[in-house]
A and B are shown apart, each in its own frame.
Chain A
Amino acid sequence: MKEEKQIVASLSGVTKKYGEITALRDVNLNVRAGELLAVLGPNGAGKTTAVRLMLGLTKPLSGQVAVFGRDPRIASARGCIGAMLQVAKVPETLKVKEHINLFRSYYANPLSLQTTLEAAGLESMKDRLFGALSGGQKQRVLFALAICGNPDLLFLDEPTVGLDITTRHLIWQQIRRLVQEGRTVVLTTHYLEEVDALADRVVVLNHGVIVAEGTSAEIKSRTAQRKIRCATRLRRSDIETIPEVSGVSEQESRMEILTSQVEPVLRELFLRDPSLAGLEVSNSTLEDAFLKIVETKTVETGSQPAQKEMTA
């Protein structure tokens, strides 16, 4: 087994441009053996570019990319890597087992066909043509292709996007199993729930720069904001005068107040409005933290409304 902190993949001072657009700017990112690293970020943040670089699908303008100490653009350097990418269309006239067998043939020590089918929940459809599968089943085949080579390092680019709950949970369960077996997984996703459920470590990318890095608990505490909701006759401008308050918004006749110090704010609120009712205090979620990080670091898109689901 590898030692715990060994770096299996890295971007060192990597800048990548597509024409005029800078996708990544001087990014340093280390993937350590045995961890599940989630790469988060809004659309165009550079997540997929980071993954494409580590898979050798593109080369950086400057900086170094290394996977298991080698340049991933060489086919043989990818012998221990599996990848699940977003694909619009897969050749439809091959059967599920044929697709898997073809990808197994690329690897030195692949899983058996049977093991792969079981892991991806595809046993009952191994003889079906790919074109005859449903969306969720197709996604399972792509997952099967990523794991069939028995890889040490797995890249999953939005593996559960648009999936039904059953398939999503199946894939989560398999990802957990892979990590338990000591494999390393790099995951990009726009489901924060997925990050909370799976990831050891989170890297938040925005506009091609890493804006936050840490465990998901650390990311949350970086923006140690708590949320107070209440019905009050106080006006928004009144509440904003309380020094500890960092943000106020009005939501369906209730006030939403963000603060890092709940108690003094509450004391002040009750003092000013004894009739205050419907009080609710909640911890911020990873999603709040994520939005906060992205918003504060983003000048250009500051006016964007907060979305429920961030896109890739």
Chain B
Amino acid sequence: MSSATIDMRQSPGASMFRVYLTEAKYEFIKTLRQPAYVIPTLTFPVIFYVMFGIVFGGKQAVGAVNLATYLLATYSAFGVIGASLFGFAVGVAMERGYGWLQVKRASPMPPLAYLAAKTTMAMIFSAILVTALFVIGTAFGGVHLSVGKFLGLAGTMIAGTIPFCALGLAIGCYSAPNSAPAVVNVLFLPLSFCSGLWLPIQLLPKFLQHAAPFLPPYHLGQLALQQIGFSGGHGMQHVAALAAFTVFFLLLAQRGFKRDDVSINA
């Protein structure tokens, strides 16, 4: 990564593409220097996967696939959700709460560039994470996944950041800077568990299995499982559910954002 040498020639007009690219680049550099984000985001899913999928999982099977392969899919979803939620919720809550967002909004920055940069950042971390889990699973867990299936999983996970970026944005628009990490943890860990991302959902009590379709992480988990060849309902249902959640979270975020205007001091 060549962050030191930045191509910043003076151009006659700031092209939209470059604004988006620059915003995303600095968002990534900024985040990469924050151990509080990078370390938990990348290591927690890996540690959980190694523990449940490889060390304890052994040769067990869930349906037609072995547990290590099954959990590769669900921990990918788990990691992606964490990367999206923490990146957005904590980032937006801080930048909003401490007044930095106002400085950016007062500049000619297109507002969408701000959101696109944070989404891109979550996508990059998601891609890194899925790759890491795949490598570990293949090397130590007896996972045999074709390149095609791996790419399908990675692609699904990268696209799957979007609803959780929207949820993170909504949290960030309502939370104070200090409370955002706690809010995310309170939502993220139980939701992931109840959606069958830690352990196969078949092992959970029946009532949780029935409740899971109301939780967004469940749908991303199911889409991930389909990519590795574990059949789980119709894909389009899950995509539709996630799309609906995304719209809902964005509307919620917009409401929260507008609320700021009422409370700000004259």
Contact = CB atoms under 8 A, between A and B. Distances in A.
Given A18-B266, A105-B22, A106-B14, A89 B6 contact: no
Contact of B106 (A49, A76, A78): A78
A63 to B, nearest CB: 16
B146 interface: no
Interface string B33-53: 110000000000000000000
Interface string B108-126: 1111000000000000000
B98 interface: yes
Contacts, number: 122
Interface residues of B, number: 40
A72 to B, nearest CB: 9
- Interface centre among B14, B29, B94, B110, by most chain A C-beta atoms within 10 angstroms, is B14
Contacts of A49: 266
Nearest to B94: A89
Contact of A105 (B19, B33, B261): B19
Given A79-B108, A106-B109, A91 B30 contact: yes
A18 B94 contact: no
B68 to A, nearest CB: 36
Interface in B94-143: 94-95, 97-100, 102-103, 105-111
A23 interface: yes
B22 A91 contact: no
B233 interface: no
A93 B8 contact: no
B236 interface: no
Contact of A83 (B8, B95, B106): B106
Contacts of B107: 78, 81-83, 103, 106, 145, 149
A107 interface: yes
Contacts of B106: 55-57, 78, 81, 83, 85, 155
A108 B30 contact: no
12 contacts: A55-B105, A75-B110, A85-B99, A87-B99, A87-B103, A88-B97, A89-B177, A91-B30, A101-B22, A106-B108, A107-B14, A109-B12
The 3 A-B residue pairs whose C-beta atoms are closest, nearest first, are A89-B98, A23-B266, A93-B33
